């Protein structure tokens, strides 16, 4: 049985669709309707939602967003737009453009390639969409022409020689500055320059100058406002839309043959000149070195002389110092001897004074004793005193002759040979007789 068509009696065919199919179709429609009411943006892109009535809504955050009604248009824009120019042989993406030709202010030129990255302003996204309609138009009709203009316009502010000799970084900075702040107004002027050619001699002291000659050159000068500081500028279309040039990268530059020939010749001249300068500098340095060596030898000799002189002075000073110290030592010794002598003098003086005092004391004592004895003698009777003296003499004599035995001899009167001996014997006899009278004297004294 066919569930999809039937034929009646009149020959007409009718479709007979089961309800399950209709339900499935309806479910798919509802699902498509629901899915069409949402869209997703990544974290690196913006979106413009355009409703059927023409209302524009900027979506500047990533995530899932509601689209009402479901058939509203969604236009996506990358946050960072890129314009890239490369050699035709290096193209691997349709978004890459061909290298652009630039001409410098000295008529030299070449092909330049690189990448310019632009950053969109989310607050002005609607204005960007109104101007260009979609991202493709923004890149093709907006950013690429402006990039080409920036590369060419900025090149006219440099000379090919300067660009080839290291001004590429300045060139990139100038491109970025003019993209964000407007093109700098410049003026090409003819200038007469007088150049003096000189050939430097070997010693570099007496250069010989060639006659000056006048040359006409064209220079590009920046035009300033009335303040003389702020350059005059021409705004670009992207400045009003808030689009900023975030990065400029010059990847390649292919100079024209004439520029390459000029630079090669210039480099050769510079190398030759550098060689001459190096030779001159080496000669000058050699002369300076020789002079320095001579000066060093002179200084060394002078230092040796001064050193010897200093040594002699030091030795003399040392000798003088030793002599001074010896003299001081002798002075100290002499002072010590003087102090000892003075002390000895004081001691002798003290002894002398002591002896004098002692003598005076003895004298006074003797005088006093003499006075006492005199008084005693004066107080004693003279006869008694004579007897005392006589007694003392007798007593002393008796003590000395205690064991002496006296034999009275017979008196003989002799003369001649033994007369002297007999006289001594007589004297002894007489003294003995005096002792005999001692008892009588004692009796009288008592």
Of 56-60, 234-238, 314-318, 380-384, the poorest mean pLDDT is in: 380-384
Measure the CA–CA gap between 105 and 156, rounded to whole angstroms.
Answer: 5
Say which residue, 325 or 152, is predicted with more confidence.
Answer: 152
Phi–psi pair at 60, nearest 5 degrees: -115, 5
Among 58-72, 185-199, 428-442, the minimum mean pLDDT is found in 428-442
Q: Considering the chain, tell me which residue range(s) the CATH 3.30.479.30 domain(s) occupy.
A: 79-185+223-255
Q: What is the mean pLDDT of residues 332-343?
A: 85
pLDDT at 143 over 90: yes
pLDDT of residue 234: 93
CB neighbour list of residue 130: distance below 8 Å, 6 or more residues apart: 56
pLDDT at 407: 59
Which tens digit of pLDDT belongs to each residue from 220-252? 888 999 998 999 999 999 999 999 999 999 988
For every residue of 384-409, DSSP letters joined together read HHHHHHHHHHHHHHHHHTTTPPP-PP
More confident residue, 241 or 363: 241
End-to-end CA distance of the chain: 215
- Residues whose CB is less than 8 angstroms from the CB of residue 207 and which lie 6 or more positions away in sequence, other chains included: 198, 199, 200, 201
Q: Which of 20-29, 191-200, 247-256, 420-429 has the lowest mean pLDDT?
A: 420-429
Query: What span, in angstroms and rounded, lies between the C-alpha atoms of 325 and 262?
Result: 87
Considering only residues 296 and 3, tell me which one the structure prediction assigns the higher pLDDT: 296
Q: Average pLDDT, stretch 292-299? A: 84
Q: Could you give the CA distance from residue 238 to residue 231 in angstroms, rounded to a whole number? A: 19
More confident residue, 192 or 150: 150
Q: What is the pLDDT of residue 203?
A: 44
Average pLDDT of every residue of the chain = 79
Of the candidates 231, 181, 222, 218, which has an alpha carbon nearest to the alpha carbon of residue 103? Answer: 218
Written out in words, the top-level CATH class of the domain with range 79-185+223-255 is: alpha beta
Tens of pLDDT, residue by residue over 258-267, are 999 988 888 8
Whether the Cβ atoms of residue 188 and residue 223 lie closer than 8 Å to each other? no
State the pTM of this model: 0.53
pLDDT tier, 360 (very low <50, low <70, confident <90, very high otherwise):
confident
Weakest mean pLDDT among 149-153, 167-171, 420-424: 420-424
What's the confidence (pLDDT) of residue 191?
A: 75
Q: How much is the pLDDT for 142?
A: 93
pLDDT at 397: 74
**CA–CA separation, 338 and 327 (whole Å):** 16
Strand 208-209, strand 80-86: pairing: unpaired
Q: How far apart are CA 120 and CA 60, in angstroms?
A: 11
pLDDT value for 425: 53
Gap between the Cα atoms of 107 and 258, Å rounded:
10
């Amino acid at each position: 049985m066919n569930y999809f068509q039937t034929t009646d009696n009149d020959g007409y065919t009718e479709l007979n669709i089961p309800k399950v199919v209709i339900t499935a179709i309806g479910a798919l429609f509802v699902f498509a309707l629901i899915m069409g009411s949402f869209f997703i943006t990544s974290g690196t892109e913006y979106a413009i939602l355009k409703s059927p009535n023409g209302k524009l809504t900027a979506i500047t955050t990533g995530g899932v967003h509601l689209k009402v009604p479901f058939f509203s248009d969604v236009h996506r824009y990358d946050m960072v737009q890129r314009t890239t120019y490369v050699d035709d042989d290096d193209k691997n993406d349709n978004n890459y453009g061909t290298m652009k030709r630039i001409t410098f202010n000295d008529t030299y030129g070449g092909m330049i390639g690189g990448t310019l990255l632009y950053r969109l302003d989310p607050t002005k996204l609607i204005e960007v969409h109104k101007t260009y309609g979609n991202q493709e138009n923004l890149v093709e009709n907006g950013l690429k022409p402006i990039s080409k203009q920036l590369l060419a316009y900025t090149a006219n502010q440099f000379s090919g020689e300067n660009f080839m000799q290291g001004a590429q970084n300045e060139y990139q900075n100038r491109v970025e500055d003019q993209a964000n702040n407007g093109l700098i107004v410049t003026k090409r002027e003819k200038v007469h320059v007088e150049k003096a050619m000189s050939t430097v001699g070997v010693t570099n002291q007496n250069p010989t100058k060639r006659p000056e000659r006048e040359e006409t050159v064209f220079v590009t000068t920046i035009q300033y406002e009335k303040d003389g500081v702020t350059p005059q500028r021409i705004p670009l279309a992207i400045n009003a839309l808030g689009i900023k040039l975030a990065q400029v990268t010059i990847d390649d530059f292919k100079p024209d043959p004439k520029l390459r020939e000029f630079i090669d010749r210039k480099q050769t001249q510079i190398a030759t000149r550098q060689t001459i300068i190096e030779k001159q500098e080496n000669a000058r340095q050699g002369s300076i070195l020789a002079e320095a060596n001579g000066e060093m030898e002179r200084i060394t000799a002078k230092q040796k002389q001064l050193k010897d002189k200093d040594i002699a002075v030091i030795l003399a000073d040392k000798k003088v110092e030793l002599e001074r110290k010896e003299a001081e030592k002798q002075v100290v010794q002499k002072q010590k001897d003087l102090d000892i002598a003075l002390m000895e003098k004081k001691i002798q003086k003290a002894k002398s004074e002591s002896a004098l005092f002692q003598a005076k004391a003895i004298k006074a004592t003797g005088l006093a004793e003499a006075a006492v004895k005199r008084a005693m003698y004066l107080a004693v009777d003279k006869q008694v005193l004579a007897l005392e003296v006589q007694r003392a003499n007798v007593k002393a004599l008796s003590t000395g002759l205690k064991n002496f035995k006296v034999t009275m001899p017979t008196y003989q009167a002799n003369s001649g040979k033994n007369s002297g001996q007999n006289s001594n014997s007589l004297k002894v006899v007489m003294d003995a007789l005096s002792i005999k009278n001692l008892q009588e004297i004692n009796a009288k004294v008592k």
